[in-house]
């Protein structure tokens, strides 16, 4: 949401726990999840480790990702998010934070070279799959570290960044954010348009998640290569939530040849969950206004509000509805997975609680009539098509970079 910790904070305040349903994917679903090239384009491990280090090459008590669970789920290639909070646009230091997180991913691979390998291109992904290694690819969430200097684009490309989410929860020097009512650029800034061209030329995927509608349309108009929405879902299921994509945006994405990677977070998937935080906040504010913020009566009533209004988790079936809608609207070539694991706190749907859960998704797709090759497209084939197209465009424009 507005910050990576907002959902977790609000959910923790409710002091309840919902157990996941007992999903039992078939052996076919498990095998397909492991046979397919399974790519998840948005997992927030690097920022999680900045806040509290764990060795995710081993089983961990916390978080949504570690190697044993990812291996159980069939994950081949997580794009680790180099997430830069929006506040760094004003405070500075975003570049240093980005480098620290990239360092942490290099260190992870260095500690467990028998498990992980850094992936810089599509050939690496295929080769490392054959070698039985989990590919660590990286995307930068929020272009703030570019700092208005295209030399930084080359620097981060050389360090392994392969997509940039142009903005995050506030507008920056590149683009307006879907969350920010201030529309200082009414889309992309002039530098943002220049950056998109430069990203095309160097072979960096343009990520349109988080940006405003106007910025999305600008990016589509400027980009000569397919774009991605690395972790977005559909506005048709969450009316008024601009962070998700409208059907018209989906159609423009398809014309561009791009792909939307569906976000699993409940507030992205289900309208009731999307509106939950605002509903609770308004009730709490009303109580605090009536009885005083720190009064015993206010605390009592707020506890009752939380106890009587448990968070309405989305379900696996609702995530599948989003995939179905993309397929029906623009075709199966344009949808994939961008879970936002480790980024949406305890708001993940029942049935998709961590990286071991991908076989549940595969079973759901099988149950809805998707055949094996179609499922492989959704799990990773479509993203690889786009990434290869971006690489090919850059190769043909090496003199422009």
Task: For 38-57, give the secondary structure using H, E and C.
Answer: CEEEEECHHHHHHHCCCCCC
Cα–Cα distance measured from residue 276 to residue 303, given in angstroms and rounded to the nearest whole number? 16
pLDDT cut 70: percent of the chain above it: 94
Q: Which residues contact 273 (CB under 8 A, 6 or more apart)?
A: 266, 267, 311, 312, 313, 314, 347
User: DSSP code of 203?
Assistant: T
pLDDT value at 299 more than 60: yes
For residue 400, name the pLDDT band (cuts at 50, 70, 90): confident
pLDDT tens, residue by residue, 94-149:
999 999 999 999 999 999 999 999 999 999 999 999 999 999 999 999 999 999 99
Choice between 235 and 302, residue whose per-residue pLDDT is larger: 235
Residue 327 token pair = 């397929």
Cα–Cα distance measured from residue 263 to residue 339, given in angstroms and rounded to the nearest whole number? 5
Antiparallel, parallel or unpaired: β 134-141 and 161-165:
parallel
Position 277 scores a pLDDT of: 77
Range with the poorest average pLDDT among 57-71, 261-275, 281-295, 359-373:
281-295
Question: Strand locations in 327-370, DSSP E?
Answer: 335-337
Burial of residue 188, with CB atoms counted within 10 A of its CB: 0-12 exposed, 13-18 middle, 19 or more buried: buried
For residue 302, name the pLDDT band (cuts at 50, 70, 90): confident
Range with the poorest average pLDDT among 17-31, 223-237, 337-351, 379-393:
17-31
Position 401 scores a pLDDT of: 63
Average pLDDT over the chain reads 93
pLDDT tens, residue by residue, 221-253:
999 999 999 999 999 999 999 999 999 999 999
pLDDT cut 90: percent of the chain above it: 85
Position 100 scores a pLDDT of: 98
């Amino acid at each position: 949401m507005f910050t990576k910790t907002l959902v977790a904070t609000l959910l923790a305040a409710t002091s309840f726990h919902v157990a996941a349903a007992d999903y039992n994917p078939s052996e076919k679903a498990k095998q397909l999840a492991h046979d397919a090239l399974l790519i998840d384009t948005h997992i927030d491990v690097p920022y999680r480790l900045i806040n509290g280090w764990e060795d995710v090459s081993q089983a961990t008590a916390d978080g949504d990702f570690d190697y044993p669970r990812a291996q159980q789920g069939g994950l081949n290639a997580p794009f680790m998010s180099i997430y830069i909070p929006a506040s760094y646009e004003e405070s500075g230091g975003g570049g240093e934070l980005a480098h620290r997180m990239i360092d942490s991913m290099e260190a992870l691979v260095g500690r467990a070279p028998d498990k992980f390998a850094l992936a810089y291109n599509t050939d690496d992904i295929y080769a490392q799959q054959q070698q039985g290694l989990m590919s660590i690819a990286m995307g930068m969430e929020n272009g703030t570290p570019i700092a208005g200097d295209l030399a930084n684009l080359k620097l981060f490309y050389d360090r392994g960044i392969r997509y940039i989410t142009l903005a995050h929860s506030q507008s920056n020097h590149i683009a307006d954010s879907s969350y920010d009512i201030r529309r200082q650029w009414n889309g992309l800034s002039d530098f943002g348009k220049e950056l998109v061209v430069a990203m095309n030329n160097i072979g960096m995927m343009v990520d349109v998640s988080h940006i405003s509608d106007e910025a999305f349309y600008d990016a589509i108009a400027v980009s000569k290569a397919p774009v991605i929405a690395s972790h977005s879902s559909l506005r048709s299921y969450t009316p008024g939530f601009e962070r998700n994509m409208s059907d018209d945006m989906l159609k423009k994405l398809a014309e561009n040849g791009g792909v939307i990677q569906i976000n699993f977070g409940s507030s992205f998937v289900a309208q009731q969950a999307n509106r939950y935080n605002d509903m609770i906040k308004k009730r709490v504010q009303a109580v605090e206004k009536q009885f005083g913020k720190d009064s015993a009566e206010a605390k009592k009533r707020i506890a009752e509000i939380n106890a009587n209004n448990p968070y309405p988790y989305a379900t696996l079936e609702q995530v599948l509805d989003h995939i179905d809608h993309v397929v029906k609207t623009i075709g199966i070539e344009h949808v994939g997975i961008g879970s936002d694991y480790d980024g949406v706190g305890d708001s993940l749907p029942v049935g998709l609680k961590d990286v071991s859960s991908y076989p549940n998704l595969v079973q759901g797709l099988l149950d809805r009539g998707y055949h094996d090759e179609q499922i492989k497209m959704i799990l990773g084939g479509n993203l690889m098509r786009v990434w290869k197209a971006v690489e090919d465009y850059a190769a043909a424009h090496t003199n422009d970079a």
